[in-house]
Structure 1
Amino acid sequence: MIEIRGTTTLVGLLGWPTSHSLSPPMHNAGFAALGLDWAYVPLPVPPDRLADAVRGVAAAGFAGANVTIPHKQAVITLCDELDEVARRAGSVNTLVFDGGRVLGSSTDGDAVVSRIEAGGRRALVLGAGGAALAVAEALERAGAAVTVASRRDSGWPPSAGGFDILVNATPLKEELVVAPHARLQVVDLAYLQDGRDTALVAAARAAGCEAVVDGLDVLLAQGAASFARWTGRAAPTAAMRAALRAARP
């Protein structure tokens, strides 16, 4: 049980909805492992109240926040400053509140790139939201040739033929949109709370793909980077990983 006192430093998750997220138990386990009087709380915010919410948590003394669907692009206009990665990606998933200023950054893309070999590869990114933009930017920065496909495109669904990397940055979890082949490195940003593999991860494992990275791997990597931005401390990833496992039925 997390105890929140008058001395507790708060961070939160701005999204709509937030009930699906395993970020709260992951980050709270990290704070506990380092003996920090910090707490991470879900903050469900409908799109039309995002500006009020960002101003409110900053005014209330929060140290920062994560930003998730559907706010990663909309929150940009509410930031006083963007780091270079967020500016290039056009997406923000991490806020730091510093002296009344809202600082925006993105850890999504680098979390993906840290788990695969991207240089000189051809990558297909599925999605049109903030996470897809961040992943595409990071892959390009790492030397990959990137194609982004979304349901708004006339050629949907695309084929994985001719690609070396496949990244699902859509919310689709139980629908296999693109069939993987064995030569692919596959990354799925989505995850199922009940512990089952998503349809893409299951198909990638069955196909014997070169690498398979599931949504919890990505969540841990991006969360560890956010944790360090807020606290100035290296994230205790072993404790955070254990909390992710324990949080699933």
Structure 2
Amino acid sequence: MTERIDGHTILIGLMAYPIRHSMSPTMHNNAFAKLGLNYAYLAFEVTNDTLPQAIEAIRTLDMRGSNISMPNKQKVIPLLDQLDPAAEMVGAVNTIVNDAGKLTGYCTDGTGFMQSLKDENLDITGEKMVLVGAGGAGTAIAIQAALDGVKEIALFNRQDEFWNNAQRNVEVINEKTNCQATLHALEDQADLKAEIQDSAIYCDATSAGMNPLEDLTLVTNPDWFKSDMIVFDTVYAPRTTKLMTVAQKAGVKHVLNGLGMMLEQGAEAFKLWTGEPMPVDYIRDLLFDEH
């Protein structure tokens, strides 16, 4: 790192709170080093209260941009000059690009999801998806999948604080894309089973299966799954979640965790900043020892 940083190094940030646990600095700085790019990526603990000054600092310091995470993904929107269409539809931003003082907000989470499927030679264009969850990840996945040509999305959510967001997601998709979205109560298990068995992909975008909920899965019966479908869990720690175990017992051919999505959303931001493709396979091997 010290050999790379000089008077011409371009700064990129990560603004969130808390954020010291993030793997993003390690991921991006190793990618910069691998490609010989003169950038540095640093994490800054930024709350809603300090966000306006932090965003202005992007302009003042001529930073190339920043990643944005909780609790700032929605609060940052009024502070930017424009939004990418997907970010506008999602209503959240996780990446900012600075072009000569003009700040554009993007949401790369959904792009990361779709690209991670392509990496496995899987194409859900024209297919039906069952998606559980209407939080940040679920919203981004739903919007991007609809924009990228998924034919139908059956969105399930508990009738909790995210229910209104789920309703909004369905309305936006039906108004602004060619995808047909419907909203279903997760409490109706018979409905969930029927929709899964009529779909090409089941995606869980909730925290079920992630610490401290490692033993939780929203589908417990392998009979709900078909062998020729895709089962995708956005959780990547642990690598094999309870949901994935159930799907494997059902003989599902394509069972994926969220590691590829996490890497590809970072890769999309990397390309927005640098114009270069991130060496995803190198970063996967370096950080996660997958092979």
1:211 and 2:217 matched: no
| 1:185–1:4 distance in 2 versus 1, CA, 3 Å | same
Q: Please state how far the C-alpha of 1:157 moved relative to its aligned partner.
A: 4.6
Q: Please state how far the C-alpha of 1:60 moved relative to its aligned partner.
A: 2.6
The CA distance in 2 between the partners of 1:208 and 1:48, in whole Å, is 49
For normalisation by structure 2, the TM-score amounts to 0.73
| Paired residue secondary structure (1:62) | coil
Greater relative CO, 1 or 2 (CA 8 Å, sep 6+): 1
The CA distance in 2 between the partners of 1:55 and 1:14, in whole Å, is 12
1:55 and 2:98 matched: no
1:150 and 2:193 matched: no
Q: Please state how far the C-alpha of 1:208 moved relative to its aligned partner.
A: 2.9
Does the CA-based 8 Å contact 1:109-1:134 persist in structure 2? yes
Cα distance per residue 1:50-93 (max 9 Å; x no partner):
33322234423321112223333332222211122222332322
Cα distance per residue 1:91-146 (max 9 Å; x no partner):
32211012112111122112212304323332232333332222111221222311
User: Structure 2: 5+ residue runs without aligned partners?
Assistant: 164-183
Match of 2:281 among 222, 238, 246: 238
Q: Structure 1 residues 213-222 or 4-13, which shifts more?
A: 4-13
- The equivalent of 1:123 in structure 2 is 129
The CA distance in 1 between the partners of 2:74 and 2:225, in whole Å, is 34
Equivalent residues in 2 for 1:1-249, closer than 5 Å: 4-114=5-115, 115=117, 116-141=122-147, 142-151=149-158, 152=160, 153=163, 155-157=185-187, 159=189, 160-161=192-193, 162-163=195-196, 164=199, 165-172=201-208, 173=210, 174=214, 175-179=216-220, 181-183=224-226, 184-192=229-237, 196-245=239-288
| 1:26–1:145 distance in 2 versus 1, CA, 3 Å | same
Does the CA-based 8 Å contact 2:131-2:203 persist in structure 1? yes
| 1:121–1:97 distance in 2 versus 1, CA, 3 Å | same
The CA distance in 2 between the partners of 1:56 and 1:170, in whole Å, is 34
User: Structure 1: 5+ residue runs without aligned partners?
Assistant: none
What RMSD over aligned residues (CA atoms) do the two structures have, in Å?
2.6
| 1:47–1:156 distance in 2 versus 1, CA, 3 Å | farther
Amino acid at match of 2:272: R
Structure (1 or 2) with the larger CA radius of gyration: 2
Identity %: 36
Q: Please state how far the C-alpha of 1:223 moved relative to its aligned partner.
A: 1.3
Does the CA-based 8 Å contact 2:128-2:150 persist in structure 1? no
For normalisation by structure 1, the TM-score amounts to 0.84
The CA distance in 2 between the partners of 1:149 and 1:186, in whole Å, is 15
